[in-house]
Amino acid sequence: MGNNLNQIGLDAGQAGELSEKLNVLLANYQLFYMNARGFHWNIRGHKFFELHLKFEELYNDSLIKIDEIAERILTLGLTPLHTYTDYSRASKIKEAKNVTDPIQGVREILRGYGVLLPLERELLELSNKANDEGTNALMSDYMPEQEKSVWMYSAFLNE
Ligand SMILES: [Fe+2]
């Protein structure tokens, strides 16, 4: 541990590293969120009512997490990304445009989790090393919840 502590007693360098990665998670989550909104609006077909609601639940939950991630970055003493330009630049999840097929929508969601979960696992490891219990707790809340969602969306696809 260095002796350069930030305001909440974490190593400043490690807090910087954590914030950087949290910003990447934030950016990906924003794209994940907007994609879920698009699916909520645009999907068509006989699964409409079921998935229209599911995607709404998902984007509402994403909004809460987005806010938590951004405010964790501020708590660590740094600035969350907050522009569309930065989000699309930093996000590995890409914009899903004009998705009307429910199966494709669910596949995109699963692909999104495939990006979010490994990022969170990296953050879990990093926050462990930094003794950053706040970030650690956030990640260990998100991960089992999202892993369960992966199971459920996969079951929906029967894949
Ligand atoms: Fe709606």
Cα-flanking dihedrals φ and ψ of residue 91, to 5°? -90, 135
Q: What is the pLDDT of residues 78-113, one digit of tens each?
A: 999 999 999 999 999 999 999 999 999 999 999 999
CA of 85 to the centre of ligand 1 (A): 25
Residue 1: its pLDDT value, please? 47
Instruction: Using the mean position of ligand 1's atoms as its centre, give its distance from the Cα of residue 21 in Å.
Output: 31
Q: Quick one: average pLDDT of 123-138?
A: 98
Q: Which long-range contacts (CB under 8 A, 24 or more apart) does 89-94 make?
A: 89/27, 90/23, 90/24, 90/27, 90/28, 91/24, 91/27, 91/28, 91/30, 91/31, 92/24, 92/28, 93/28, 93/31, 93/32, 93/35, 94/31
Give distance in angstroms: CA of 49 to centre of ligand 1.
11
pLDDT tens digits along 1-33: 457 999 999 999 999 999 999 999 999 999 999
Confidence of residue 159 (pLDDT cuts 50, 70, 90): confident
C-alpha distance across the termini of the chain, in Å? 46
- Decide: helix, strand or coil at residue 7: coil
Rounded to the nearest whole angstrom, what is the distance from the C-alpha of residue 50 to the centroid of ligand 1?
Answer: 13
Asked whether residue 139 carries a pLDDT value surpassing 80, the answer given is yes
Q: How many Å lie between the centroid of ligand 1 and the Cα of residue 35? A: 13
> What percentage of the chain carries pLDDT values higher than 70?
99
